[in-house]
Every structure is written in C-alpha cells, then in structure tokens.
Structure 1
Amino acid sequence: MESNMTIASDILEIQGFDIAPEFTYPLFFLLLFVYSSLLFSNIGVLMLIITEKSLHQPMYILFCNLSVNDLIGNTVLLPPLMAHIISTDINRFITYSQCVAQAFHSHTFGSASHMILTIMAIDRYVAICHPLRYSSIMTTRTVIVLSATAWGVSLLLVSVLIGLTVRLSRCRSFIQNAYCDNASLFKLSCEDVSINNIYGLFFTVLLFSCSMGSIAITYFRIAIICWIKKNKELNNRALQTCASHLVLYLIMLWSGFLTIILHRFPNYPDLRKIAYILFHVVPANLNPVIYGMQTRSLRAKIFQILHREVTST
C-alpha cells in the first residue's frame, strides 16, 4: 500500500537504464560520439551563419533557432545520462531542482522544435508559391518576430505545465525513467493530479494540432501550386526543399508520439526511454547536415571553407 506521507528530501533516485556491464562503455562512447557530432555540426552552422555576412538573411535566422534549440535540448539530456551510465554506484541520484530544470528544458525543446519547424514550413511555402514576394513577406523583422513568438509561447506553455507539477507535494522519491520529464515528476505525488493530466493533454493536443495542421495546409497548398503550374523546375525545387523538412518533422512527430503513448504502458520502460532519446538526438544530428547540404548558399560556403582548409595544408 502506498503511503501518503509527504517527503521533504530534495534527493531523488532515478532509474536509468539497466545495462549489462559489457555494454556500459560501448553505449557511453556511442552517446559521446552522437553528442560530439551534434555539437560540432550545430555550432559549426551557427558560427558560419554569424560570421558570414552574406548569410545574414531571414531563412538562416530559422536555422540558427533550430541549432540553438538542438544544442540546449541535448546538452540538458545527454551529459547527465552519460554520467549515470558509467557511474559505479548502483543507485543513481538527482536533486529535485535539477530534475525540474531538466524537465523544463526538455519540454521547451520539444515545444520549440514544433514551433520552429512550423515557421520553416511557412517560409518554404512563401518561397515556392510566392517567390517574387518572398523578400517583402519574409523580412528579417518578420522572422525575428515569428521566432520570438515561437520561443515565448513555448516558454509560457511549459512554465504552466511544470508549475502545476511543482505545486504538488511528494510522497515518492523514485523517478521511473532515465531522465526527468513532467509525467515522471507528477507521478512522485500522491495528490489528485487530474489538473496536471488535463493541462498536459491540452498542451499536447494544442502543440501537435497546430504544428500538424499548419504543416499539412502549407504542404497541401504547395502541392496544388506545383500541380497547377506543372513546372519541372518548380517541382524539383519543392521536392528538394520540402522532402527533408517533412522527413525530419515526421521523425520528431512519431518519436514524440511514441514517448507520450508509452507513458500509459509501464510494461515497456526501455522502449519509452529509447524513443525519448531518439526524439532528441536524431533531428539534432540530421538538421545541420540536411539543411546545410540542401541550402545552396550555405552549402557553397561550407565547401569553400573546406577547400580553403585543404589547399592551406
């Protein structure tokens, strides 16, 4: 029988992964490689866009938003996870405040990812369907306002989400997860969490419906324009720019869906943990590679720098 006694301790035990000793260091080095590669690629793209004046354009501001979000989201998740993996202590511990901070940044990462990819879909729609008006519609000011709105809405929604959880008293001190998220936190309480479940459902439905609806509408209109005009160059440009965006969005969408659904099925804890890690690391590693290689100006600058390095050696 569960006790309703409130726990005052600030120390929580976190489940982590149950890994056989022989797989500990291979998994650690795999995560280290993944984290290092996303740091290198995202910081590289950021520095290139910041230092090259020719790339100071609205579209590249969106790339910067994506890279910053990927860096923050994965830095909050992966280093603590790697530390827990190689820890010699059977019991893994984290403070409540650290757990709250990790959950806050993690949910902000997910929310901002949806928002930024939605803005990028709108940007692609204007570029493909209204190329002559693109520079007047998607100005630097417009993109900055849209980006600030995406971050502001994400921070507001997540602040309320986490705030509703922090108000609860705790009767448990065991996080049944390899990381901290909102659901893991409010499961520490023996109080009525109906409000948390209702707002969590509202948060999820609002976020997913807005991003899915916006992207579906923009892609549908792009498809209609391509079908009406029957222009081979336009179709190739639309396929090249939209296919990668759609693939990355679907990866993020389904890994996010899988994480949320598996919270309702406690018999598959490891699958849920893996889905959550994939939600973070796969788009973060693919974003700079795909967008860097498919954006002509950015690709040209990358090849120019690589050629300069090769010739100098």
Structure 2
Amino acid sequence: MGHGRKNEITDNQTLRTDILLVEGLKVSLESSIPAFIILLLIYIFIMVSNIGLVVLITTERSLHQPMYLLFCNMSVNDALGATVIIPHLLSNIFVPSSDRFIPYIDCVIQAFYAHFYAGATHTILMIMAFDRYSHLAVYIIMFVSGFIIIILHRFPNLSDYRKLASILFHVVPPAMNAIIYGLQIKVVRQKIFIMFSRKRTTVAEVK
C-alpha cells in the first residue's frame, strides 16, 4: 500500500502522526490526463451499471430469486471494490510521487475493504459456481488474478507490474460482471433492446 513516515511540527511542538508514503502508479506528465479520463470513465461506468442492476433487481418482483439476489450482492460488492481504489488513484494522479501521503488509519481502512471485497467476490462466485459451470470459469479467472498479485509480491523489482495487477483486479471484474451477468437476465436484455430500438426510431425520424 505504502511506506515511510514523517513527523508534523506545529507551533514549536512536535506532533507525531503516522503518515504513509503511497507508492501509487508511475504516470508521466503527458499520460496523466488520459489516464485520469480513462479511469474516471471506467469508474462512472462501473457505478452506473452496477447500481442500475441493483435497482432493477430490487424493483422487479420476478427477479426476487436466489441467483438474482446473488447478482445483486455482487454488484454492490463490485461498486464497493471500485470505490475503495479508483477515487484515491484519481486524486493522486496529478500529485508528485514524493508527495503522495495517506494517514495510517485511512490506509488500514482501505486495506480492510480491499480484502473484504476480494473475500466477498470469491465467496459469491463460489456459491454461484454450484449452479452453473460458464460461473466456475469466472471464479477461476478471479482466483488467478489474485494469485498473480501474491506471486508478484515476491519480486520487488516487479513492483510496478504488481501495482498494475492490483488495480486491474479492482477495475476489470466490476466493469465486466455487470455486463456478463446483467445480460443473463431476460428483463435486462429486453430493456436494452427497447432502449436501442427507441434510439434507432428517433434517428430514423430525424433523417
């Protein structure tokens, strides 16, 4: 997560505060704006798609079934997992790596929710895997992704790849799960079809 400490000196009194230096991503000045825009768009998509799926499942009585409730739990968990990592990344992109500090308590909270997200994701996917296979495959992908992060921890010279793998673990699954599992729900497919049909009709009328 981070390393290092500094002491804050206020009004000739030394106030010892645990503050960690965040490693973060090494993004060049030229790449900082594109990286910020891409991460922001991905975060917006994750939140809109997952929250939309939760609202649909909770309001549609026909979807009040065990499997769909698992979808709902996964969407909530994915939104949580993305929120734990992405906003903090966005806030640090334009900050020099030497000035990226975080209070120790905030780091602990972030680490707790990051592990909670990973544990909940594996648990939900394992439960869903008992119902179908195409879920066991998704679970294996999640397991391998997490295992790669653990392996890269053993190689300090590959720290940049480890950080990238950790970010992808919190970005790719939340973005893809809403699409993969959302499209399995007939009501979702119907609403998407209606939405695109209306757009095509509007475009045709304009022409």
Fold match (TM-score > 0.5): yes
Confirm or deny that 1:45 pairs with 2:53.
yes
Instruction: For 2:115 and 2:152, locate their aligned partners in 1 and report how far apart those are by CA, in whole Å.
Output: 16
Instruction: Choose which of 291, 303, 308 in structure 1 pairs with 2:193.
Output: 303
Give the percent of matched residue pairs that are identical in Structure 1 and Structure 2.
Answer: 51
Confirm or deny that 1:252 pairs with 2:142.
yes
For this pair of structures, how many residues does the alignment match? 188
> Shift in Å at residue 53 of structure 1?
1.7
Q: CA RMSD in A?
A: 2.1
Confirm or deny that 1:98 pairs with 2:106.
yes
The answer on whether the counterparts of 2:125 and 2:136 sit within 8 Å (CA) in structure 1 is no
Instruction: For 2:137 and 2:36, locate their aligned partners in 1 and report how far apart those are by CA, in whole Å.
Output: 28
Instruction: For 2:33 and 2:153, locate their aligned partners in 1 and report how far apart those are by CA, in whole Å.
Output: 28
> Shift in Å at residue 72 of structure 1?
0.6
Q: Partner letter of residue 38 of structure 1?
A: I
The answer on whether the counterparts of 1:248 and 1:287 sit within 8 Å (CA) in structure 2 is no
1:76 alignment partner in structure 2: 84
Structure with the larger strand share: 2
Confirm or deny that 1:281 pairs with 2:156.
no
1:266 alignment partner in structure 2: 156
Confirm or deny that 1:114 pairs with 2:4.
no
Instruction: For 1:15 and 1:104, locate their aligned partners in 2 and report how far apart those are by CA, in whole Å.
Output: 18
> Shift in Å at residue 59 of structure 1?
1.3
1:30 alignment partner in structure 2: 38
The answer on whether the counterparts of 1:55 and 1:298 sit within 8 Å (CA) in structure 2 is no
Instruction: For 2:198 and 2:113, locate their aligned partners in 1 and report how far apart those are by CA, in whole Å.
Output: 37
The answer on whether the counterparts of 2:126 and 2:139 sit within 8 Å (CA) in structure 1 is no
Instruction: For 2:41 and 2:136, locate their aligned partners in 1 and report how far apart those are by CA, in whole Å.
Output: 26
Q: Partner letter of residue 164 of structure 2?
A: I
Instruction: For 1:298 and 1:85, locate their aligned partners in 2 and report how far apart those are by CA, in whole Å.
Output: 35
SS of the equivalent of 1:16 reads: coil
- Alignment TM-score, normalising by the size of structure 1: 0.56
Q: Partner letter of residue 81 of structure 2?
A: G
SS of the equivalent of 1:86 reads: coil
Cα distance change of structure 1 residues 22 and 104 upon mapping to structure 2, 3 Å threshold = same
Q: Deviation string for 1:80-110 (max 9, x for gaps)?
A: 0111112257410101110000000000000
Q: Partner letter of residue 111 of structure 2?
A: A
The answer on whether the counterparts of 1:62 and 1:116 sit within 8 Å (CA) in structure 2 is yes
Residues 1-313 of structure 1: matches in 2 within 5 Å?
A: 8-87=16-95, 90-124=98-132, 242-243=133-134, 245-304=135-194, 306=195, 310=199
